[in-house]
Amino acid sequence: MSSPDSAAILDNLKELDRLKKEQEEMIQEINKMHKKLQSNPEVVEKPGDSSLSRLKMLYIQAKELSENEVSVSSQLLGQLDALIPSGNAGQHRRRIDSGEQKKKRMKADPEVPRQSASIRNPLESLANLKGEQVAARIVQEDNGKDEWFVVKVIHFDKETREFEVLDEEPGDDEDSTGQRKYKLPMSHIIPFPKRNDLSSAPDFPPGKHVLAVYPETTALYKATVVQARKRKNDDYILEFDDDEEDGSLPQRSVPFHRVVPLPEGYRQ
């Protein structure tokens, strides 16, 4: 790590520490106002009382501190990501570079549940994924490259700890026009967040690298969060790697239940 990089990271860490202390002090002030109003609610009816105005101002300041914390955290993430070697810099994915290639895996988003498994009890939860759609890492036979697709779980063998999955719409880029089955180890499967259980969906901050389904396809690619969700059921705004158009990366909207953490050691 070079000296300028180290200094910038340390500066942001100090700023985060300062913001945290200010937020703690702000929370204490807000709590004091809450107690005052709870114990003596009629005070707000007295002429000249400014309790509610004061409380509103405290909340505005608390919001500003929180937004500043998010901004500094995003800067830190970007600085750290820039220092961590990816091992795959400069590699282009033809499947996402070409508009025609993108269309080869296009399909409608069917109204079927995509339930995720609870990773706290792996074998039980993974066995319950039968019939669900998941993200699967599949090694291509022709070139040995890893690619991530949306597939449907057919069976989970607890003894071998292998999944049998079905690629329901492999697209016209596949040798076979029919559906394809694969047997994959647990490490090649990532359950999607539950569509009807918002608590199962992780929150990814701006600047975070994720794996996401490219719009109108069944393929997943590395992307960067540009805009986080304001509400639990909001879409993420993402920029996909190697998705350059007219010299810039377009921002694309992706449903929260089609975004998962970027696997450790991801390569494609």
Please state the domain extents for the chain. 3-83
d(CA 89, CA 111): 37
Other CB atoms within a 10 A radius of the CB of residue 91 amount to 12
**pLDDT per residue as tens digits for the range 45-84:** 778 778 888 888 888 888 888 777 777 776 766 666 666 5
- How sure is the predictor about 114, in pLDDT bands with cuts at 50, 70 and 90? very low
Bigger pLDDT: 179 or 44?
A: 179
Which two three-digit tokens encode residue 108? 């409608």
How much is the pLDDT for 81? 60
DSSP string, 125-159: HHHTTTT-EEEEEEE-TTT--EEEEEEEEEEEETT
Q: Closest Cα partner for 102 from 250, 260, 259?
A: 250
Q: Which pTM value belongs to this model?
A: 0.54
Phi, psi of 10, deg, nearest 5 = -65, -40
Residue indicated by tokens 């490490």: 187
Report in angstroms the alpha-carbon separations of 32 from 26, 39, 46. 10, 11, 19
d(CA 254, CA 266): 20
**pLDDT per residue as tens digits for the range 167-191:** 887 655 545 556 889 999 988 999 9
Are 110 and 169 in contact, with CB atoms under 8 Å apart?
no
Residue 252 bridge partners (DSSP): 238
d(CA 221, CA 212): 6
Report the chain's mean pLDDT, rounded to a whole number: 77
Bigger pLDDT: 241 or 111?
A: 241
The 3-state DSSP class for residue 213 equals: strand
| Angle between helix 3-39 and helix 51-83 axes, rounded to 10 deg | 160
